[in-house]
Chain A
Amino acid sequence: NAGVTQTPKFRVLKTGQSMTLLCAQDMNHEYMYWYRQDPGMGLRLIHYSVGEGTTAKGEVPDGYNVSRLKKQNFLLGLESAAPSQTSVYFCASSFLAGVGLFFGEGSRLTVL
């Protein structure tokens, strides 16, 4: 079972470059989330989606955009990367809001 798959797993960007992280889940979950993990700060919610075609802001949405064109995919975009966006990004999905989240393996992004 694939569960939640994130691509790419590692990426190095220069300041100002753009990129997209892809999250795919095969569990038919309605809810999908993007978190960033930084030392000492736990995981902070960037954006989330409650279903296909919907997105909503989380705790730290600035500098990121998301799209949920298909139920199984949740894309996280950085239009103009900044060093402050150096982090490990985790995607998660769940059937119900906030309950039973399945996490991906993370994507480590470094912005120089």
Chain B
Amino acid sequence: AQSVSQHNHHVILSEAASLELGCNYSYGGTVNLFWYVQYPGQHLQLLLKYFSGDPLVKGIKGFEAEFIKSKFSFNLRKPSVQWSDTAEYFCAVTSNNAGNMLTFGGGTRLMVKP
């Protein structure tokens, strides 16, 4: 079945630690990949997206993600997290094999300790 998997459900880091959140998908066809962030009590906001070209994409607030086609992965990274990065992060995928509807992973809740 087509799916988006985020293997880390909860992550706790100290400020200045490096972050990597995993995302794997099982869709075929042409895929577009996204990371969204949801700060406490707020709606989803787009962090970054990949459509084509350079597989290393940079987003807002110092986040970046790397598309590795052979691994069906799109991991999110940040070299040094801040307390304000505390939020829930969602990986999402569209595929032309699935009507281009956006499908989300289960989310990763990140807590950054000051």
| Chain A residues in the interface with B (C-beta under 8 A) | 33, 35, 40-45, 48, 58-59, 90, 96-101, 103-106
Contacts and interface: CB of A to CB of B under 8 A. Distances in A.
Interface of B: 4, 6, 9, 32, 42-46, 90, 94, 99-107
A103 B101 contact: no
A99 B106 contact: no
A45 B106 contact: no
Nearest to A39: B107
Contacts of A99: 32, 94, 100
Contacts of B44: 43, 90, 103
B59 to A, nearest CB: 14
Given A99-B94, A104-B43, A45 B103 contact: yes
Given A98-B32, A99-B32, A90 B107 contact: no
27 contacts: A33-B102, A35-B104, A40-B9, A40-B106, A40-B107, A41-B106, A41-B107, A42-B4, A42-B6, A42-B104, A42-B106, A43-B90, A45-B101, A45-B103, A48-B101, A90-B43, A90-B44, A97-B94, A97-B99, A98-B94, A98-B102, A99-B32, A100-B46, A101-B46, A101-B102, A103-B44, A105-B42
B101 A44 contact: no
A58 B101 CA distance: 9
A100 B46 CA distance: 8
Interface centre among B102, B103, B105 (most CB of A within 10 A): B102
Contacts of A104: 43
Contacts of A101: 46, 102
